[in-house]
Amino acid sequence: MPDTPDPVAALLAARLSGQALTAFPAPIPATLGDAYDVQQRLTAALGAPVLGWKVGRIPPALVEALGAERVAGPVLRVAELAGDAPGDAFVFDGGAGAIESEVMLRLCAVPDGRVTNGDGALWVDEIRAGFEVASSPAPDVHNHAPYGIIADIGINNGLLLGPRLDFEDFATLAVETQIDGVAVGSGRAIDVLDGPWGALDFLADLHRRGVIELKPGQWVSAGAITGVHPIAIGQTATAHFGSAAAITCIAAPETGFRV
């Protein structure tokens, strides 16, 4: 009797080798629960500590049916940006690759209840400007949103941390993202659904339900402020967070995940 296909094996092999797939491996999860189950098994198979969590959005047409607005995925790579020097954003050659300008929240404690705009400092001790590198070995992963995105560890391929931002105004800074010097999007963190604290509240709810595990010291990549911007190997992304910070990265080929 043939073995039942399992997408974890194909996704694991692709992430370890750095090689793209021709398509998202079957069977594609058909529910949020199934997708998070694949995510948990793939994360365990990769064998790396979870350094944070990315938060993304569910396609608007599916929000009512699914009863959720956001998705989560584990972060297994975090790198510091060194001054004005561009960081490396590793993307799968032949897969899906994008860059997202985001605010990064560092947990100092795990929320034990609802998170509001007024109590964020109870749970977060540092906020940074940063990039989420969103890349999957499956070139068609977005065609299977949100299930394929959740399953493939939120298609997160690392965070790049830039300068610190002030608690008082980080969410209202005007952010602009450029690819090779051309503006591709703008926005403010506060305008992404219910803002960064809402993203943390979403993660805290998943934690309480046992879907994910939050820990002090983890980073929260709180959502794409200016959009999800496709990027090709060799292209440069720059993000300006008002006058508070400017960060840059260059897309480089993924060569395989290492613990």
Whole-structure pTM value: 0.96
3-state secondary structure of 247: strand
pLDDT band at 101 (very low <50, low <70, confident <90, very high): very high
Say if 75 falls within a structural domain: yes
Work out whether strand 175-179 and strand 87-91 pair parallel, antiparallel, or are unpaired.
Answer: unpaired
- In this prediction, residues 73-86 reach a mean pLDDT of 95
Sole residue written with tokens 């749970």: 123
259 in any annotated domain: no
pLDDT at site 2: 52
**Does residue 2 lie in a domain region?**
no
Confidence at residue 120, expressed as pLDDT on a 0 to 100 scale: 85
The neighbour count for residue 136, using CB atoms within 10 Å, is 29
Residue 137 lies in a domain: yes
Q: In this predicted structure, what is the pLDDT of residue 90?
A: 98
Q: What is the mean pLDDT of the chain?
A: 96
Is 258 domain-assigned?
no
pLDDT average, residue stretch 183-210 = 97
- Tell me the C-alpha distance between 98 and 51, whole Å: 20
Q: Which two tokens stand for residue 112?
A: 């034990």
Instruction: Say what the pLDDT of residue 64 is.
Output: 95
Mean pLDDT value of segment 164-168: 96
- For residue 5, the model assigns a pLDDT of 82
Give the per-residue pLDDT at 118: 78
**What percent of the chain is predicted at pLDDT more than 90?**
92
In angstroms, the CA 193 to CA 26 distance is 32
Q: State the Cα–Cα distance between residues 39 and 71, nearest whole angstrom.
A: 11
Domain that holds residue 88: 7-253
In a domain, 81, yes or no: yes
Give the tens place of pLDDT for each residue, 2-47: 567 899 999 999 999 999 999 999 999 999 999 999 999 999 999 9
CATH number of the domain encompassing residue 210 = 3.90.850.10
Gap between the Cα atoms of 71 and 193, Å rounded = 13
Residue 84: band (very low, low, confident or very high) from pLDDT cuts 50, 70, 90: confident
CA dist 87 to 83, 132, 224, 241, 250, Å? 10, 12, 18, 17, 6
- Identify the pLDDT of residue 242: 97
Give the residue from 158, 159, 184 showing the smallest Cα distance to 240.
184
Q: Which residue has the tokens 């190997």?
A: 233
119, 224, 226, 250 from 180: Cα distances, Å: 38, 19, 16, 9
CA atoms within 13 Å, Cβ hemisphere of 198: 15
Query: What gap in Å lies between CA 18 and CA 245, rounded to an integer?
Result: 32
pLDDT at 113 over 90: no
Nearest to 175 by CA among 241, 246, 128: 241
Domains identified in the chain, total number:
1
Nearest-angstrom CA–CA distance, 160 and 97 = 15
In the prediction, which pLDDT does 3 show?
Answer: 67
